[in-house]
Structure 1
Amino acid sequence: KTKSKKTIPPQSHEDTKKDFGLSSSFKSLCDLVPWCHYFPTALLLLALPAVSGCTPDKSETTTRGRLEVLIAESIAPPMVEQVEQFVNIYSKNGAQLSYSLMSSDDAIKHLISDTARFIVTTRPLTAAERERVPVIQDYNLNGILVAYDGIAVIVHHKNPMEEISTSEMTKVLSGEITRWEQLSRAKGMKGTIDLLYQDSSDVSSFVAGRLLHGKPVRKDVRRTRSSLETLRSLVERPLSLGLVGTSWIDSARVPAKSLKVAETRQTADTTFRVAPEAFGKYYSTHPAHIYRSYYPLKRAIYIYSYGPVGSIASGFGTFVANKDGQRLFLARNVVPATQPIRLKAPQ
């Protein structure tokens, strides 16, 4: 079920900025991201196929036409900004983009049912899902990993805690740990943990595979419908703990503290296995830690398109993967994935 849908008119994008806290001005790349020392200006352009909600119009080009982008809600802030900036640049050419927010699973269902041509997800398509994509002459399915972010463990801004381990998070989620003083680094925090949990979302899917490992989530969770609701609920409840995509923390503009997380057990999940030198150590969601696979709750962001080459979807896909789109990811502390990055040595 679609959670939100918005069409961006050619000239005005104020509603989008208000909803997601987006900025219309950008500093230089190095000013925005001190940890990024090297960011090549040259980037291989991607010839992604067309992805409009219907068959591309004959007059459509890479910068002219209509396109609906289905975005996984937990990665919405930087991807909405990608849509906004593309329209800002190419509206004079006739670019008209809209977006809808939903879970990755729902976006993939739309792609498979031939009701979407461009989706943004936080998981790759399975082999079975690829086989179910309809066969249409001159249409091709293309996907690319465009960035990395993480799932942040968040608490009330006055909570004295600073760190938590993955094994403790599993116990909190499953109900084995229900009180703050049961945690090894509670720092005097006491009371029942008020767990905020977003059902049927990319966050809950990530938690199920990465932390719960088949265990059910505890029954007394306080269920939320979006990342923004999770963050706003957190502010009102001093004993609460929640999980959101890292890009939402700054975008929501609410006071919240993100805990440092340590991997303290061997896991069967090898998708983004924590670097050996980081095992047992606590790391923040800083982009450098995500890039190095030091932060344990790392995940990937994918774009998928289905259609012929040469439409506006091809142009938008190129924009996201090119230096302009990758710079927008960096500005949101999301790690770009289409090019090498060199980190600065500590000063």
Structure 2
Amino acid sequence: MLALSVFLVACSSGNEAPATEEPVTEEPVTEEPQNLSGPLTLSGSTSVEKVGLALIEEFMALNPDVVGTYEAIGSSGGVKNAADGVTQIGTASREIKDEEKAWGIEELTIAYDGIAVIVNPANTVEDLTIDQITKIYTGEITNWKDLGGNDEEIVVVSREDGSGTRGAFEEILGIEGKLTQNALIAEGNGNVQSTVAGNPKAIGYVSFSSLDNTIKPLKVEGVEPISEDVINGTYKISRPFIFVYKEENLTEPAKAFLDFVMSEEGQNIVEENGAIRVK
């Protein structure tokens, strides 16, 4: 009987259909949202300020626990702050100097900008050459009549030492250290613009992003001061907007902010605020 039972069990087992494994469906892996919090500190160029603040504001809207600040102290101050760890990111509206690169900072070009040569709307002059602008700022041309304008003294308005706009402007024209002693010095794009807007004899220069209808931008060598002409290389007075930093000083919010600036959304904000996108 025992042998018969074993035989029946064996036969029964042999007739069973083979077991099939149920397919394993993997759950999609979703990345957890970053819970960014803490300070995000930038300092530097007054020309970059408008773009920088717009980027910070949108980044804070996406990350409510991040508190971002921007201190407009000029390009040289911003680069030094980043090198010294005073702020996580410094901003410059000119090329970084060799002596600054020696501080061990990283560079990120976030946009390009043109520098517009501006006059009062009452001024009849519409176009200047690079040579004429150079001679105005070195004091060789002092009367508007020599440029096709009225018989009036030219009031030259320039920026303060350490300004990225001034540094770029003088480097492009080749007049570093040669600014006329009669120039009025105004701190920040806004002050240059308001000085020119209030004086029919004045000439100045500001970032494209600062232009409004209180002043008149001049053509340079017959070329309009517009973004398209900077991109195609025909407008010659232009410069980069650069973020600088030391990797070891970047917090998680600062790293995420740099990624955001170079994203499609970040570059859209750059463009919406008067600068020229890099991608």
Please classify the TM superposition score into its range, dividing by the shorter chain length: 0.7 to 0.9
In 1: Cα distance, 2:35 partner to 2:79 partner: 23
Q: List, as ranges, runs of 4+ consecutive aligned residues in structure 1 with deviation greater than 4 Å.
A: none
Matched, 1:261 2:232: no
| Structure 2 stretches lacking a partner, 5+ long | 1-33
Matched, 1:305 2:278: no
Q: Aligned partner of 1:97: which letter?
A: G
Deviations 1:59-98 (A, max 9, x none): xx6732211111311222222111122112221xx01111
**Residues 284-295 of structure 1 correspond to what in structure 2 (within 5 A)?**
284-295=224-235
Give 2:23's aligned residue.
Answer: none
Contact 1:173-1:212 within 8 A present in 2 as well: no
Deviations 1:45-68 (A, max 9, x none): xxxxxxxxxxxxxxxx67322111
Superposed CA RMSD in Å reads 1.9
CA distance 1:213–1:69, shift in 2 (3 Å): same
Match of 1:325, SS state, is helix
Q: Aligned partner of 1:239: which letter?
A: K
In 2: Cα distance, 1:196 partner to 1:88 partner: 38
Following TM superposition, by how much is the alpha carbon of 1:105 offset from its aligned partner in structure 2, in angstroms? Answer: 1.0
CA distance 1:310–1:236, shift in 2 (3 Å): closer
Which of 111, 114, 118 is residue 147 of structure 1 equivalent to?
Answer: 111
**Residues 228-307 of structure 1 correspond to what in structure 2 (within 5 A)?**
228-250=190-212, 255-262=214-221, 282-307=222-247
Q: Aligned partner of 1:117: which letter?
A: Q
Give 2:41's aligned residue.
Answer: 68
Which of 188, 191, 195 is residue 156 of structure 2 equivalent to?
Answer: 195
Which of 134, 146, 156 is residue 182 of structure 1 equivalent to?
Answer: 146
| Structure 1 stretches lacking a partner, 5+ long | 1-60, 134-140, 263-281, 340-347
Matched, 1:332 2:267: no
Match of 2:235, SS state, is coil
Match of 2:56, SS state, is helix
Contact 1:62-1:312 within 8 A present in 2 as well: no
Contact 1:71-1:79 within 8 A present in 2 as well: no
Contact 1:305-1:313 within 8 A present in 2 as well: no
Structure with larger RCO (C-alpha < 8 A, sep 6+): 1
Matched, 1:83 2:23: no
Q: TM-score, normalised by structure 2?
A: 0.81
In 1: Cα distance, 2:121 partner to 2:94 partner: 30
| Equivalences, count | 244
In 1: Cα distance, 2:208 partner to 2:214 partner: 14
In 1: Cα distance, 2:251 partner to 2:83 partner: 21
Contact 2:169-2:237 within 8 A present in 1 as well: no
Give 1:120's aligned residue.
Answer: 91
In 2: Cα distance, 1:310 partner to 1:115 partner: 13
Larger radius of gyration: 2
Following TM superposition, by how much is the alpha carbon of 1:214 offset from its aligned partner in structure 2, in angstroms? Answer: 4.2
**Residues 45-56 of structure 1 correspond to what in structure 2 (within 5 A)?**
none
In 2: Cα distance, 1:122 partner to 1:232 partner: 21
Q: TM-score, normalised by structure 1?
A: 0.66
Higher helix fraction (1 or 2): 2
